[in-house]
Amino acid sequence: MVHRTLLLMRQGKGVKRASGIDARLRDRGKRKAQRMGVWIAQQGWIPDQILAAPTPCAVVSAEKAAKAMGIGVQQMVVNARLDKADMATLLDELTLVPETVHTLMLVGDGVGLEQLIVRLVANGDTVAAGGRKLLKHGSLAVLKWQGAWAELEASAAELVDLIDVRSLPKRFPFPDAQGAELRDRPAYYYRQSSVIPYRRATHGLEVLLMGSSKKHHWGVPKGIHEPGMSAQESAAKEAVEEAGVRGRIDQRLLGVYDYEKWGNCCRVEVFAMEVTELLAEDLWQESHRGRQWVAVETAVGMVKAQQLVPLMRRLAELVAA
């Protein structure tokens, strides 16, 4: 018999609009999802696959938890049938899970998940006695049993754990889920990647600068190194979102620098990117930033992060060579 683990996580609480619809996950809900992701990693229950309901709260809860586990979102599938799904619908979807999946995480609305717990657990009626909610926003139930996903309903699952997210530590271990140091944000926030976009102009090398989100200063694309991606892939993603450019990234590291954020030191790996495509403003996600091509010696006097200055000059030397 194959051992199976089912992680049932209730989506975080959303910010309510005047219409009464939960439009997006609260920041507090994001932190809770990240804490739960760290806890799952600490237990060694990292899922082979994650199924999420299509609501913004469920999707973001699943993404934040997955990244905090260190696995990224590659194993995540958004399933339209899970939107406010009842127990019967959840069971139907679970029976379709590939048998190669040993640990599955399901993120969605609390009502259907609680009904599923009562149905699958041998003493489910006792567990739900008293009318109390089994899963508060962001909390998790862990079920285990032996058998195939297609035979799930006939299985007598064991409720191994019921974790209230409010009981988890507020700070995050570093440098990974088993780390002893505690920080204000998940460990992956402190590992970042960046590109210096450049092109060869008739009068020499130019680099592309884009404005900060509030247009207070100039810089280059930079962001958190997304779990599940290489540093270069993550930096390329930031280049598309922040500067609206695509290009060829040199696989060699141009340089590294540190800066302070979230109460600790962030380390940034910087790569050179020769721009091959400049996206139109309607396709550029953060076009409010603004962008401009400038000569390297002009750029070094404009960027806020002075750690970029020697890296820009090194880029000019490498391209010239």
Q: Are 215 and 289 within 8 A, CB to CB?
A: yes
CA dist 19 and 87 (Å) reads 27
- Other beta carbons within 10 angstroms of residue 180's beta carbon come to 7
Token representation of residue 47: 């899922």
Q: Given 93, 153, 158, 241, which residue is catalytic?
A: 241
Give just the sign of the alpha carbon dihedral 168, 174, 179, 181.
Answer: negative
Which amino acid is located at 136 in the chain? K
Q: Residue 21: which residues within 8 A CB-CB, separation 6 or more? A: none
C-alpha dihedral over 99, 141, 146, 2, to 10 degrees? Answer: 40
Pair 2, 102: CB distance under 8 Å? yes
Residue (of 217, 277, 220, 219) closest to 247 by Cα position: 277
Is 241 known to be catalytic?
yes
DSSP state of 10: E
- Cβ contacts of 53 within 8 Å, gap of 6 or more: 11, 59, 78, 79, 82, 83, 84, 85, 107, 108, 109
| Residue 294 contacts residue 303 (beta carbons within 8 Å) | no
**What's phi and psi for 117, nearest 5 deg?**
-60, -50
Catalytically active residues are 241
